Amino acid sequence: MNLGAVPLLARRATRDARTPFVRKLAARLTRGATGELAAARLLAGVQARVRFVRDASERYGVDTFTPAKTTWLRGYGDCDDSAPLLAALGLASGLPAELVAMSPDGDPDPSHVAAKLAGIWTETTLRARVGEHPYAAARRLGVLRARDDLRGVRTRLGSLGAMAAARHQWAREMLQQAWMVVRGRPPSLFEIQCAQAWSLHDASYGLGWGPACAGSHNWGAIHAQAGQPSCPYQDRFPDGTVYTQPMRTWPTDEEGAEAFIRQLSSPARPLTQAALARGRSVRDVLDAMRRENYFGGFCPEAAKEYGGQAVRGKPGSSDAADACHEEALDGSQGALLKNGHYLVGFREMTAALGEPMPPLRNGDPRDPAYGSSGGGGLLLVAALAAGGGYYAYKKGWLS
C-alpha cells in the first residue's frame, strides 16, 4: 500500500461517518454505550461481520478501497477496508478515531493499517481484544507467520482531525528552508502559499505517485533527464493523450524541496518569478507558470472543438491554444481550491496553518472565488495524498 493512500482512507472514513447508514449502524452496535465499552461493541460488530480477505489486486501493485457501507454489506475486505469502516463507526459514535500505518523498518510504504478508537487499539482483521496491539494479537493467536503484514513497526499518523495540520506545518517548514537555500531570502506569505499549494496538488509534498514512485521526494512533479535517478510514470497531454515520462527522484525531502523551489523560480521562468513577487493573485501565478511550460493542465472541451494537436500550441499562437490555456487555468485553479476527490489545496492548507486565503483572481476579496479558509476539523482529515492522486485517478474510489 502506498503511504499516501492512508490519509485518503482517513478522509473517506470521516465522510462515511456522516452518512445515515453508518450513523444508524453505529447506534445499533453501541446500544447506547460510550467510551471504551462503545469501542468494544463496535470492534466486536466489525470483527463478526467483515471477514479478512487479502486484496487480489495487490499482486499488480494496486490496492482497491471500498466505502464503509460497501464493506459492511458485502462482509469481507482487507485492513484498508475494515479499519476505515471501524473508524467511521467510531466517529459516528462520538469517539476520537485514528488510523495507524505499520511498516517494516526502512520501508516507506505501510503493510498494514489499524484503527484506534478513543486511544485504544481496535484491530479489525483478527480476533484481537480491545486494547491489544495487532502484532501482539497475531502472536497470541499463532498467525504471525501467515500475517507478514503485521510484522512491522507502527507509524502513528495522528488523529483524523489533526492529521492534516501536522502535515501542512511540516511541509511549510521544509519549503521555507528550501526557499532560503535557493533564493537567499525568506519568501513572502503569498510566495510560500503558492509554492506549497502547488507542491501539495502536483506532488503530494514529495511522496510520489503510485507504487513505482512512492517516496520519490519529488516536490514538484519534476521530470527526469537522461541518466538522472528516476521512477517510471505516465502523464497526459492537455488533450488527454497519455505519454510516458520518468519522474526525478531524490534521496531526501530536503533535496527534493530545494529542487522544486529552484524549478519554480529558475531564471528560465521570469514571468513566474514576477507573478510570485507581485502577489496579485493565484490566477496570475498559474497563468505565468503555464506560459512558461511548468504544467500543461487539461482542456478536453477545447480539444473536442479544435482537435488534440491544435490545442498543444503556446498561448497566443492560435485560438485553439488560447482556448486550451483558459480551460487549463480554470481546471488548475479549481484543483487548488476544492476539497473534492484527491485534490486538496489552498482552503485546507490555509485553515490548517491559521492563515488568510490569498487573492485568487484579481486581489479583490469580493471575488466570488474568494472564500473563507475556515472549516471544521473533520474537513481537515486526509490532507495529504501521498500518491493519493494515483489511487483516486486509477480507481475512482473517491466520489
CA pair distance 387, 368, nearest whole angstrom: 31
pLDDT digits (tens, 9 = 90+) for 219-228: 998 999 999 9
Give the strands of the sheet with 120-122, arranged side by side: 120-122, 112-117, 97-103, 153-159
Q: How is the chain split into domains, by residue range?
A: 5-160, 165-381
Higher pLDDT, 378 or 145: 145
Q: What is the mean pLDDT of residues 182-204?
A: 91
Of 198, 217, 213, the C-alpha closest to 246 is 213
The pLDDT assigned to 74 comes to: 94
CATH of domain 5-160: 3.10.620
* Residue percentage of the chain with pLDDT more than 90: 34
Distances (CA, A) of 285 to 108, 181, 196, 330: 33, 22, 13, 13
Percentage of the chain beyond pLDDT 70 is 72
Instruction: Check whether 212 has a pLDDT greater than 50.
Output: yes
List the grid coordinates of 336: 487548488
Comparison of pLDDT for 374 and 202, the residue scoring more: 202
> According to the model, what pLDDT value does residue 312 have?
84
Whole-number pLDDT of residue 233 = 81
Average pLDDT estimate for 143-155: 60
Cβ atoms within 10 Å of 332's Cβ, excluding its own: 25
The residue to which cell 492537455 is assigned: 238
Inter-axis angle of helices 5-17 and 163-183, nearest 10:
140
Give the cell for residue 227: 541518466
What is the identity of the amino acid at 39?
A
Flag the least confident range among 35-44, 206-215, 275-284: 206-215
- Determine the pLDDT at residue 25: 96
Question: Measured between alpha carbons, how far is 345 from 381 in angstroms, rounded to an integer?
Answer: 13
Question: Which residue would you say has higher pLDDT here, 234 or 152?
Answer: 234
Number of helices followed by number of strands (H, E) in the chain: 16, 10
Res 337: pLDDT:
57
- pLDDT of 82: 95
The pLDDT, as a whole number, for residue 89 is 96
- Alpha helices per DSSP H over 118-188: 134-141, 163-183
pLDDT-derived band at 366 (thresholds 50, 70, 90) equals very low
pLDDT of residue 209: 64
Q: Which residue has the higher pLDDT, 237 or 261?
A: 261
pLDDT digits (tens, 9 = 90+) for 57-108: 554 445 678 899 999 999 999 998 999 999 999 999 989 888 887 765 445 5
**pLDDT on residue 150:** 64
Q: In sequence order, what are the residues at sequence separation of 6 or more whose Cβ sits closer than 8 angstroms to the Cβ of residue 213? A: 231, 232, 233, 247, 249, 387
